[in-house]
Amino acid sequence: MTRRSIVIVGGGISGLAAAWELTGGATGPGANPPRIEVIEAHAQLGGALGTMEFAGRTVDCGADGFLARRPEMVTLVKELGWGDKLEAIGASGASLFLKGRFVPLPQGLILGVPTSAQSIRRLAGLSWRAKAAAYRDQWFPRRFTIGDDVSIGAITRAKLGEEMTYKFIEPMIGGIQAGRVDHLSATSVFPALIAAARRGGSLMKAIAPSSGSMPGPPTFVPTEGPVFFTITGGVGSLIDELRRQLEERGVVIRTDVPVTAIRKTPTGDYPFEVDTPVSTTPASGVIITTPPRVTAGLTRGWKDDLHVLEQVDSAGAVMVTFSIPRGSATLPASGTGVLVPLHTPWTGPDSLMTTALTFLDRKWPSLARNDDHLVRVHLGRSDDTRCSHLGDDELVTRVRAELAFICGSWPPTGEVRVVRWPDALPQYRVGHDELVTKVRSSLPEGIALAGLAYDGVGVPASVGSGRRAAAALMETWTSS
């Protein structure tokens, strides 16, 4: 029998997780394992996951943590034998920057949505009108009719008002997605919200934890314990360990090699061929984890339905990380960071570009030192690309000025690093689930899609997407 050959296009965390699943996961390869090849266009594996040396520590230059109460990433870490490297978050809470001051976020929020009017009654920075809108939703809710899908903003504006939506909810949800709540799909991004809205009555009551409604996709599994984990040495350090163990299992990993086409072959033992500038690999199956527009190009000439992937746009993100002496700036007394609403005015031109601050040394105990703070500044949204037009030096100057406004002062010198992730975050616009379903139903048997653009934003979602794609591919062969 011809040995099966599986090619994984893309060496980000989804592609590597797919390779791990194909090689047997926790139990390892069985008898007659398939040949597995991972092809990555860039010189480094991991996509937006990686680490850098900064201020005497190893710091992530992409996602610095992951949701602990989704099982996919925690399971993978443990299967790799790194369970002792899981590090729980060391602080809780965050603040909003409203009307020139830090306002601690109240308890009981679900992705920024309050669960009772009482929880925000004393919240500084929100007008009495915004608080009255929450009171109205709790006791005299407005009716709202929903079709198949609707934006998050359409729901929250109708039920809780514009101020609550743009000053309170959007900084959290929009910050995670680098998008705007008026564009983001409630079905894809926040299914608990659309389920709560469909119940009718008070949105806050329907989404409260006691209602059984939780944020996140159906795979979300609430558990006891920490809300977030990182990995000691950085989340990005897992990529090197994954590569090492995959290569021990016989996986062929090629980097700095772009795939130029994925072709169907009408005859022979293998139904597909994967082309690069220097090779052609025959394949029994292919898992594609590239960004949607790249995937659309690679599958050009297949069914027209796959071309709709070109409609999925992406937002870029920029992170500027500072090491500053303790006492050189006024930070909130507690919490892991600050959210900054869009269009927040300041003393400089236009509005603040900063969308959030993360206090890395508070968030993760292994990064704490006695002499400095590690502060990460987040910039960039789907409709705000101002930071992409500035060089690194110009950007650092601008960010320092914004931080001096936000925090009262900011040191003009010190170690700083700029990391840019252009087009890193696909936008789950209204109708996204329908689009993905249409595309997947059009794929020929033996082709699977996985990655950030299809099954949720975040490291656990990406890991789960890759492993499910691999499992589904193997299932088609065992059932045929």
Residue appearing with tokens 């190893």: 58
Q: Using alpha carbons, select from 47, 44, 65, 48 the residue that is nearest to residue 367.
A: 65
Amino acid 1: pLDDT: 54
Q: How confident is the model at residue 111 (pLDDT cuts 50, 70, 90)?
A: confident
Domain count for the chain: 3
pLDDT at residue 299 tops 90: no
d(CA 263, CA 119): 57
Reported as half-sphere exposure (CB side, CA atoms, 13 A), residue 230 has a value of 27
Residue 369 belongs to some domain of the structure? yes
- Domain limit, last residue, from 410, 426, 442: 426
Instruction: Give the model's pLDDT for residue 479.
Output: 65
Residue 442 structural domain: 5-49+236-312+428-478
Query: What is the CATH classification number for the domain harbouring 408?
Result: 3.90.660.20
Beta-carbon contacts of residue 31 (< 8 Å; ≥ 6 apart)? none
Whether residue 446 is found in the same domain as residue 362: no
Domain for residue 55, yes or no? no
- Mean pLDDT confidence for 443-467: 94
* Residue 44 maps to a domain: yes
Answer whether residue 63 is part of any domain. no
**Average predicted confidence (pLDDT) for the chain:** 92
Task: For residue 84, tell me if it sits in a domain.
Answer: no
The verdict on residue 164 lying in a domain is yes
CA distance 436 to 115: 31
Q: Among the three residues 386, 402, 426, which one is the final residue of a domain in this structure?
A: 426
Check residue 218 and give its pLDDT.
42
Q: Give dist(CA 83, CA 77) in Å, integer.
A: 6
Question: Do residues 111 and 163 both lie within one domain?
Answer: yes
- Same domain assignment for residues 139 and 194: yes
What is the DSSP-derived secondary structure letter of residue 366?
G
Question: Do 318 and 422 share a domain, yes or no?
Answer: yes
Q: What is the mean pLDDT of residues 244-258?
A: 97
pLDDT digits (tens, 9 = 90+) for 404-433: 999 999 999 999 999 999 988 999 999 999
Same domain, 304 and 318: no
Nearest to 290 by CA among 7, 6, 78, 2: 7
Do 325 and 260 lie in a common domain?
A: no
Q: Are 113 and 186 contained in the same domain? A: yes
Which among 13, 11, 12, 14 has a CA at the least distance from the CA of 37? 11
Report pTM.
0.93
pLDDT of 280 > 50? The answer is yes
| Per-residue pLDDT at 214 | 38
Q: Which of 383, 405, 426 is the last residue of a domain?
A: 426
> Based on the domain organization, do 303 and 448 belong to the same domain?
yes
Q: For 216-238, write each residue's pLDDT tens digit.
A: 444 444 456 788 999 999 999 99
**One domain, residues 368 and 299:** no
CATH number at residue 282: 3.50.50.60
Q: In this structure, is residue 85 part of a structural domain?
A: no
**Are 274 and 327 contained in the same domain?**
no
Residues 278 and 138 in one domain: no
- What is the CATH number for 164? 1.10.3110.10
Pair 296, 443 in one domain? yes
Asked if residue 56 belongs to a domain, the reply is: no
